[in-house]
Amino acid sequence: MRQRTRILNGGKVNGPQQLEHVVVTGVAGFIGSHLTAALLKQGASVLGIDRRPPSHDPTAAQNLADLTAQPGFTLVERDLMDLDLERFAKGASAVFHLAGVPGVRPSWGDRFADYLTSNVMTTQRLLEACAAMGVPRLVLASSSSVYGTGADRPSREEDLPTPLSPYGVTKLAAERLALAYALRPSTPTSVVALRYFTVYGPQQRSDMAIYRVLEAALTRRPMRLYGDGTQRRDFTYVDDAVAATIAAASAPARAEVVNVGGGRTYSMQHVLDCAAEITGFDIPIIRASRQSGDVETTAADLTKAERLLRYRPSTSLIEGMTSQWKWALNQPGALWAQ
């Protein structure tokens, strides 16, 4: 019998039903671990899949530390390419597919094969499993990187994607695969693909800009700033991204792509100024040229997100960075730099 599904819009419950059992791939990652914590808090059982074993990966261990002891959580430490995915998809009311290799700059060169396998091939295998097992909804993590340079206005979902990096190409390919499966006649699995815009917050990946800015404040070691600081990003606090992701599990949709952003853009210079205000330290930087695949501006048009997900971001940049700074100060070894 199909699992009951609670209607969740912007993190608010609008009905008596609930997501009872879900699958989260990439559970040891930044967004995946936050999403899992929120789902468990709402009463769902979560089967999390990740190829990074906490016993050998310090980041995975840190992200999973508060999850592994919870009775509603089950961890599967395997690569999606090696699993019998039908077995794990069976009985799920939703699958949240967040697994993949991230990062624009590392996607050039010899690592592309890993990007292709992890971002595209695993998505196809998971879509087959969801269709075979009758999973009603797959929520796919995509990226603003599919837009490329964009237009002189916030990017809309109907804009022509022109990714400028191999990473963006693989995320767009995963999107198109997922939509093709959802639109196949008689398929039981609908899809909502979420184009995340620069998600940040506690547990953010160490290669991301806000992490590196706050690390520079903490350690007094200069951070490398690519470009002149005028490039702008739409920064999305992780709690807002999670609210949108949960809402996507029950949004009225067959095959949709939806932007998830922070509501406005900020220059990197503004981020540096905010960090100085929060930490009390000027941020030491080393200037470097812009890298291949970097775009000048990212900005999300959130009209569709508000209509379909009832999503409105609620965390300002200064609030989100303050939370991330407090988290950073509480990490092992953080205070030695003071």
Which of these ranges, 45-49, 187-191, 330-334, has the smallest mean pLDDT? 330-334
Give residue 273's pLDDT: 95
Which of these ranges, 11-20, 75-84, 100-109, 139-148, has the smallest mean pLDDT? 11-20
Give residue 105's pLDDT: 85
Per-residue pLDDT reduced to its tens digit, 151-180? 678 999 999 999 999 999 999 999 999 999
Contact between 260 and 236 (Cβ < 8 Å): yes
Give residue 333's pLDDT: 61
pLDDT beyond 90 at 214: yes
Give residue 1's pLDDT: 28
Per-residue pLDDT band at 296 (split at 50, 70, 90): confident
Question: Mean pLDDT over residues 65-74, rounded?
Answer: 93
What is the overall mean pLDDT for the chain?
90
Give residue 16's pLDDT: 27
pLDDT beyond 60 at 337: no
Percent of the chain exceeding pLDDT 90 equals 78
Q: What is the pTM of this model?
A: 0.90
Question: Mean pLDDT over residues 85-103, rounded?
Answer: 96
Rg (CA), the chain: 19
Contact between 248 and 258 (Cβ < 8 Å): yes
Contact between 174 and 214 (Cβ < 8 Å): no
Report how far residue 46's alpha carbon sits from residue 34's, in angstroms, rounded to the nearest whole number.
Answer: 12
Q: β-strands 45-49, 73-76: how paired?
A: parallel
CA of residue 269 relative to chain centroid, distance: 24
Per-residue pLDDT reduced to its tens digit, 221-242? 999 888 778 889 999 999 999 9
Contact between 183 and 255 (Cβ < 8 Å): yes
The CATH code belonging to domain 8-200+238-260 is 3.40.50.720
Per-residue pLDDT band at 4 (split at 50, 70, 90): very low
Report how far residue 253's alpha carbon sits from residue 94's, in angstroms, rounded to the nearest whole number.
Answer: 13
Give residue 230's pLDDT: 86
Phi-psi region of 293 (alpha: psi -120 to 50; beta: other; left: phi over 0): left
Q: What share of the chain is helix, strand, coil (3-state, %, to 5)?
A: 40, 20, 45
Give residue 334's pLDDT: 53
Percent of the chain exceeding pLDDT 70 equals 91
Report how far residue 311's alpha carbon sits from residue 192's, in angstroms, rounded to the nearest whole number.
Answer: 14
CA-based angle 220:226:228, to the nearest 5?
Answer: 100
pLDDT beyond 80 at 338: no
Which of these ranges, 93-97, 279-283, 310-314, has the smallest mean pLDDT? 279-283
Q: Which residues are catalytic?
A: 167
